[in-house]
Amino acid sequence: MDSQLLQQPAVWIATAAATAASVVGYKIIKFTKADAYEGVDERIPTPAPLSNYLGAIPYLPAEFPSSVFHRWSAMLPIYKIHFFKLPMVGISDHQLAKDIINSGSFDEKHKAYDLISRFVGSKSILITYGEEWKKTHKLVAQTFNVANIEKNFLPTMVRTAEIHAERLAEKYASNRPSVGSMTSFDIDKCTVAVALDIIAKTVFGVDNTEAENIQTILHCMEQGAFETQRRFYSPFRLYNPWLLWKHNRNISTLRSEIRKIVGERKDQLDEIQDTRDFIASMLKARDDETGHLLDEETIIDQCITFFFAGHDTSAHTLAWAFYLISRHPEVEAKLLREIDALGDVELTALRLNGLKYLNLIIKETLRMYPPGPAISRNTNRKGKIGQYDINKDVGCSVHVLAMHYNEQYFPNPTRFDPERFNEENVKNIPPFQYIPFAKGERSCIGQKFALLEMKAVLVAFYRKFTFTPDPWASLKIDAMITLQPTAVRLIAKERILK
């Protein structure tokens, strides 16, 4: 009897092991026999011979500008690849891009966005689609209407940019005796700091971003954004239980702290006369037809989304703008003349938007270094890209970067030339060829905020400084979800205006 009882667990273990082995074996056989391009039109070419099992995995991570994906996109307007037999269709033609962006068949975000969803939340307008997205987007859009941005957010942008410009003068103005003539600094760190300050003040409605709870939120935001981007390209980070635990704990702390602020703002809502911050604006947003309001968790998701999608993109685009202008003295001289013509006046939206050459500079910077180098979607039903049929659940990627470097529409594309976007030349650029903020109804909801922020920062800094590149510094690009410079070292010279 005792021996039978002792043998029973062994039988159970053996049975479980055999079952597990059978399941794993079945999965392996199914994987080896699966068609990597199931649901993808066979007429779409493959750009190169790929491993039957790994597909394009060996080509990761993709480093710009030497990325093989960038070369493939420059070579073919449409192609297909796969990752572990998960198909992906790459697009770099403006007509085909229009088919994806405007078609309801490609509303769903790519499965890779599941990694982002863990950070920004499942109700984020970055993640949702269909009726849920439309309902939330309609209310969040009230926060980002032009009048609200100009009235309630722009004064904060300008004031914050001027404070950071003064701090830069104190630490790095090379013509100050206390600094040194060849002292360089990383402008990317500077623009990250000013963008972080602007985001914190406009989201949470605080003047003091040094408060402990705000610092906790900003720390968790930065850590969460960093880990989320790294997980895209590192299986080690994706499946490491220690890093996953830290990531989840960080997200939990972040949401808890934001929830407290949302609760406090909710209690004060009757006393709030304006919407000078993102949270108050969303709490007051109401659908006129249905009376629908945003719930607390949805607001938290949008706060994190605004930070994740808006902070890095604005900060790094600003760094690229300073870098490009510093390498082209004739561009800087023309920009300074335009800014100086304003005089010492308050920076209003009307004045900032009236700076035509500054606008050209920003557009050209966004062409060369678009915030999102690719737009990834998933088919939620059968659709067509041009003449090609695409079934449900196929990933599609519009290669924005390759489109922005297309020599047919942007001659000598590696040259920084703001005049590409003057009134005459811009007529030669098809609408879907230049899409730094995507396009269509799912284009970046915060693009007007971002553009006004960039103008405010550039004007505030160029009112006080000129910049030259550090001759001994080298520049590298860290291509994650956004194109990030590892360091943009410049030398600042304080302007002495008469």
Q: Look at residue 347 and give its three-state secondary structure.
A: coil
Instruction: Compute the chain's Rg from CA coordinates.
Output: 25
Mind listing the pLDDT tens digit for each residue in 130-147? 889 899 999 999 889 899
Q: Which two tokens stand for residue 455?
A: 């103008």
Q: Tokens 């300074």 identify what position?
A: 336
> What is the distance between the alpha carbons of residues 163 and 157, in angstroms, rounded to a whole number?
10
AA identity, residue 369: Y
Of the listed ranges 144-148, 180-184, 216-220, 396-400, the least confidently predicted one is 180-184
Residue of 152, 140, 198, 141 whose CA lies nearest to 315 = 198
Mean pLDDT throughout 272-283? Answer: 80
Mean pLDDT throughout 436-441? Answer: 89
pLDDT of residue 13: 67
Mean pLDDT throughout 226-230? Answer: 82
Binding site, by residue number, is 444
> What is the distance between the alpha carbons of residues 492 and 216, in angstroms, rounded to a whole number?
32
**Residues 433, 434, 436, 439: what is their CA dihedral angle, to the nearest 10 degrees?**
-60
Question: What end-to-end distance do the CA atoms of the chain give, in Å?
Answer: 103
Q: Which two tokens stand for residue 396?
A: 């599609």
Binding site for heme, by residue number, is 444
Q: How confident is the model at residue 153 (pLDDT cuts 50, 70, 90)?
A: very high
Mind listing the pLDDT tens digit for each residue in 109-120? 666 677 788 899
Q: Which two tokens stand for residue 28?
A: 């392996």
Residue range 57-494, CATH number: 1.10.630.10
Mind listing the pLDDT tens digit for each residue in 327-338? 999 999 999 999
- pLDDT greater than 50 at residue 248: yes
pLDDT of residue 362: 98
- pLDDT greater than 70 at residue 65: no
The structure's pTM equals 0.88
Where do the domains of the chain lie? 57-494
Q: How confident is the model at residue 378 (pLDDT cuts 50, 70, 90)?
A: confident
Q: Across the chain, what does the average pLDDT equal?
A: 85
> What is the distance between the alpha carbons of residues 201 and 160, in angstroms, rounded to a whole number?
9
